[in-house]
Amino acid sequence: MARKKVLHITYDMRIGGTEMVIKNIIEGSDAAKYEMSIFCIEQPIGPWGKELEENGTEIFSKHRKDGFDLSLITEIRACIRNQNIDIIHCHQYTPWVYGVLAAIGLKTKVIFTEHGRFYPDSSSWKRKIVNPILSFFTDHITAISKATKQALVDYEFLSADKITVIYNGIKALPKVDEIEKYNLKQQLLIEDDDIVLGTVARLDPIKNHEMMLNAFSDVVTKHPNTKLVIVGDGELLTTLKEQCQQLDIADKVIFTGYITKPGNYIEIFDVFLLSSLSEGASMTLLEAMSLAKPCVVTDAGGNSEIIKNGCNGLVTENNNLNAFSHALLQIINETDKTEAMGRAGQERFITYFLETHMNQQYTRFYR
């Protein structure tokens, strides 16, 4: 039986959540049944694109022009025809628009996956007209959380009956031995008796590090031996460092910059934090759960679907400084419950969020 040809259409293959999903689907697919390739509508294709290309995945790309690029539709359509593609899997809204228009009239099936939403969310009269038409030419629509699905209904005017929730899935991070953890703590000037809070996220306004730092300053007044490790880089680095100076916590906050594989850093955290204003289904949150880390998160997007409040972490009202600060103090003060939350999170990760679970569900649609 001939292999089915699946073309993933996306912005690019930089390092990020959407890109990790695509990478995991490709690497976890049955090569005897599926031949997978990628079409990037932006250039450069990014480091994961280069890695996949080196490992044999064919990648096509075109630099999208400003405005609505009609030539991009022609380019994708030619690729679908020349490669005899059976299924296009469009990741995020704009690739979906171009993918559907390119596939109209062809035998190719269309899948659209929404990976997250902007904050605050919004809509337009154009989408109210266009999206139901695009949906008509789409065979399956998936969303990475219930919250994301509801946003598609509320803001994109898509039918809830046509949308299936498929949570993101990843490989569990490998455990780090005690010597490596000790050496990393020494490198970061973290003492043995320090309580380590940490996060892994780009330094972007949507991640709301500002609130996290304000909440952390409250914690430090009651627990001076607490450190906050912020893994990531971005436009707010200077602003956040200045905020630390103003709050007089600069000696308690460690900015590591961008780390390609942050697993070692997550391992030294006692508690993982996510203060985002908007989320789909955070990959770093799943990574922390795979390492049995209790989590404190805001009720943004899919966070409260991944973290069950009081079970494997604490969920606070979105952008509520007092609630976030209170949750940090609660999880620090109740050590016995904190350890139990970490174990519960790891069990929940294994049950729902392994990459094999995700791949099986997407494969069902490909079939």
Of residues 300, 276, 273, 139, the one with CA closest to residue 195: 273
The reported pLDDT for the residue numbered 185 is 95
The reported pLDDT for the residue numbered 71 is 97
- Model pLDDT for residues 168-178, shown as the tens digit of each residue: 999 999 988 99
Question: Which whole-number Å values give the CA distances from 120 to 59, 69, 79, 342, in the listed order?
Answer: 33, 27, 36, 31
Question: Which whole-number Å values give the CA distances from 230 to 183, 201, 243, 271, in the listed order?
Answer: 18, 8, 14, 12
Count Cα atoms within 13 angstroms, Cβ side, for 315.
15
CA distance 188 to 233: 17
- The DSSP code sequence of 58-96 is EEEE--PPSS--HHHHHHHHHHHHHTT-SEEEEESHHHH
**CA dihedral of residues 329, 334, 335, 337 (deg, nearest 10):** -120
CA distance 60 to 237: 34
Question: Tokens 């380590």 label which residue?
Answer: 196
283, two tokens: 């990959």
The reported pLDDT for the residue numbered 74 is 98
pTM summary value: 0.91
- Model pLDDT for residues 26-49, shown as the tens digit of each residue: 999 999 999 999 999 999 999 999
> What whole-number percentage of the chain has pLDDT above 90?
92
- Model pLDDT for residues 95-144, shown as the tens digit of each residue: 999 999 999 999 999 999 999 888 788 889 999 999 999 999 999 999 99
Q: Is the pLDDT of residue 1 over 80?
A: no
CA distance 210 to 156: 30
Beta bridge partners of 309: 313
41: alpha, beta or left? (left if phi > 0; alpha if psi -120 to 50): alpha
Q: Coil, helix or strand for 9?
A: strand
Asked if residues 102 and 21 have their Cβ atoms less than 8 Å apart, the reply is: no
Alpha-helical regions (H) of the chain: 17-28, 47-54, 70-82, 93-103, 125-136, 146-156, 178-187, 209-222, 237-247, 263-268, 283-290, 303-306, 321-333, 335-352, 355-366
Q: What are the chain's domains? A: 4-166 (3.40.50.2000), 178-352 (3.40.50.2000)
- Model pLDDT for residues 287-321, shown as the tens digit of each residue: 999 999 999 999 998 999 999 999 999 999 999 99
The reported pLDDT for the residue numbered 331 is 95
The reported pLDDT for the residue numbered 179 is 94
Average model confidence (pLDDT) for the chain? 95
Please give the average per-residue pLDDT across 187-192, as a whole number. Answer: 94
335, two tokens: 């050590």
The reported pLDDT for the residue numbered 109 is 98
Per-residue confidence band for 72, with pLDDT thresholds at 50, 70 and 90:
very high
Q: Is the pLDDT of residue 83 over 90?
A: yes
Question: Which whole-number Å values give the CA distances from 237 to 55, 72, 207, 258, 280, in the listed order?
Answer: 35, 36, 12, 11, 23
Strand order in the sheet with 163-165: 58-61, 34-40, 4-10, 87-91, 109-114, 140-143, 163-165
The reported pLDDT for the residue numbered 310 is 93
